[in-house]
Amino acid sequence: MARYSEEFKESITQKMMPPNNVPVSQLVRDTGISDVTLYTWRKKALFQGIPVLQAYCLRWLIELIRDQVLFRVASF
């Protein structure tokens, strides 16, 4: 299991967040980090209150919820 510094996690998380909105699938290809790990980092950032632009916040939250629902459905 790889260990990543907090600075590295923050830099990747910022890429996933508005206004960048780099898709997780692209980051998986670019970094080799699993999608589950990236979604976990993004979820943690959301709950820690990382500031995001209001215009993108709702879209980002909807995507997060959709991904969680799809992940749960796929795991059955």
For 30, the 3-state DSSP assignment is: helix
Please state the domain count of the chain: 1
CA distances from 49 to 3, 46, 53, 57, 70 (A): 23, 5, 12, 11, 24
Mean pLDDT of 5-11: 91
64 part of a folded domain: yes
Amino acid identity, position 45: A
Q: For 12, what's the count of Cα atoms within 13 Å in the CB-facing half-sphere?
A: 26
Mean pLDDT of 50-61: 61
Q: Has residue 76 got a pLDDT over 80?
A: no
Tokens for 39, please give them: 């979604």
**pTM for the complete prediction?**
0.63
1 part of a folded domain: no
Domain span holding position 42: 6-74
Q: Has residue 8 got a pLDDT over 90?
A: yes
Amino acid identity, position 31: T
